[in-house]
Amino acid sequence: MQPFRFPAFFVLAVTAALLAGCGQKSTVDPEESSVLTSPVAHFEFQAAPKIPPGNRTGEEVYNGLCTTCHATGTLGAPRTGDAAAWAPRIATGYDALVLSVINGKGNMTPRAGSVDLTDTEIQRGVAWLANQAGGNFTEPPTEPPTGQ
């Protein structure tokens, strides 16, 4: 039995060493760690209050004002990227969706509660949000920078 037990233990030891090595490699892999941290950095950048109201992109409008409910489905909001939840709404058309936000719908208050949102920004936000879930709307372009 002795010659059999030794190799068995040896195999276990080697396996443990390999597993330990794997764990160590994944914690220091710079590519993997940047993948893990970049969404956070991205979110912080989007949250910076540097964009003048009126000229925010759909993604900026969404990140600043729509995530509260749509990221998690709070108050019964259709979740961002949930194609099944969005398909019947997208089918009503872009204009209908934009009007729902301007006028409010169900638990979503008029202008989604953000009085400084322009109609064009609402159009951009709706296009961006719906397009995450299978929509194919064209977001109105932002104004070019004024060169200040």
Q: Which residues form the interface with ligand HEC (CB under 6 A)?
A: 61, 65-66, 68-70, 74-78, 89, 92, 96-97, 100-101, 105-108, 112-113, 125-126, 129
- Minimum distance between the CB of residue 46 and ligand HEC, rounded to whole angstroms? 13
Nearer to ligand HEC, 32 or 95 (CB): 95
Nearer to ligand HEC, 34 or 107 (CB): 107
Cβ contact 78:70 at 8 Å: yes
Residue 53 carries which side chain, given as an amino acid letter? P
Cβ contact 130:45 at 8 Å: no
- Minimum distance between the CB of residue 108 and ligand HEC, rounded to whole angstroms? 3
Q: Exposed/middle/buried for 86, CB within 10 Å: 0-12, 13-18, 19+?
A: buried
Q: Rounded to whole angstroms, how far apart are CA atoms 113 and 115?
A: 6
Count of CA atoms in the C-beta half-sphere (13 A) of 47: 8
- Minimum distance between the CB of residue 139 and ligand HEC, rounded to whole angstroms? 11
Phi, psi of 123 (to 5 degrees): -60, -45
- Minimum distance between the CB of residue 116 and ligand HEC, rounded to whole angstroms? 11
Using Cβ positions, the residue closest to ligand HEC within the complex turns out to be 106
Nearer to ligand HEC, 8 or 48 (CB): 48
